Amino acid sequence: MRRYIVAGNWKMNGTREGAKELLLGIQDRAEELTDVDWAVFPPSVFLEETERLLTGSNVAWGAQNVSDKPVGAFTGEISVSMLKEFGCEYVLVGHSERRNLYSEDDVIVAAKFVEASDAGLIPILCVGETLREREQDRTFEVVSRQVAAVLRLDNGVERLANAVVAYEPVWAIGTGITATPEQAQEVHQAIRSQISNYDANIAQNLQILYGGSVKPGNARAIFAMPDIDGGLIGGAALKAGDFIEIGKSCIS
């Protein structure tokens, strides 16, 4: 049986003191909620503090981005080996903001996925369509292409056995607009079906998260869908109380 994951992507938000307060608030409230896998993704400058505060807790942590190169003259980049030094378990790859604002295409995303996978990190592969693509009825085409970029890798489907997928419709991220539970389920089911064509067992056990304006008020209905295994939470992850309430929606 797949476990739920509730993961908080802080994006470029927070201060040193604010990050400490948020981490302690999440740690304290999540301590007894062991039926959910918790994870936070703070800005990289807060990873050392995150490791210090969360080590020994039931809250994992990861990075919002990683380089597709292992080492070298790549100013501003962060390697998988650096992330592992700070105890990261997860890393986001292919988030829509990386794809759309920083021109990361499927080839770059797949290379980052490999770097993370080979290093023993758990990549969370983010996929999703823009509003224009949905209006053009291209949702399944776009999401299928993004997933296929990993499936085409050497041992691609086997790598997904130690990975997570997050479906985030771009039109629902930070807009206050949320895909209906039925819309989200339809895409999650399509992703699972696509992967099942390669390996039915891996597809069945793969955790697929939904992201896009998830809040305490709508989380329960979204997480009740059979192919939705939790959420990649944005704005609501910046408030410990809201984040924990979203997590409780998985198990209540």
Q: Which residues are catalytic?
A: 95, 168
Q: Which two tokens stand for residue 240?
A: 């410990």
How many Cβ atoms are within 10 Å of 76's Cβ, its own excluded? Answer: 5
Strands 59-63 and 36-41: parallel
Q: Residues 4, 230: contact at Cβ < 8 Å?
A: yes
Q: Which distant-in-sequence residues (6+ apart) come within 8 Å of 132 by Cβ?
A: none
Residue with tokens 């050497």: 154
E runs forming strands in the chain? 4-9, 36-41, 59-63, 90-93, 122-127, 164-167, 207-210, 230-233
What is the spatial distance between Cα 25 and Cα 9, in angstroms, rounded to a whole number?
Answer: 16
What tokens does 153 get?
């890798």
Classify burial at 1, counting beta carbons within 10 Å of its beta carbon; exposed 0-12, middle 13-18, buried 19 or more.
exposed
Q: Quick check: 193 and 203 in contact, CB under 8 A?
A: yes
Report the C-alpha gap between 219 and 217 in whole angstroms: 6
How many Å apart are CA 62 and CA 41, to the nearest integer? 5
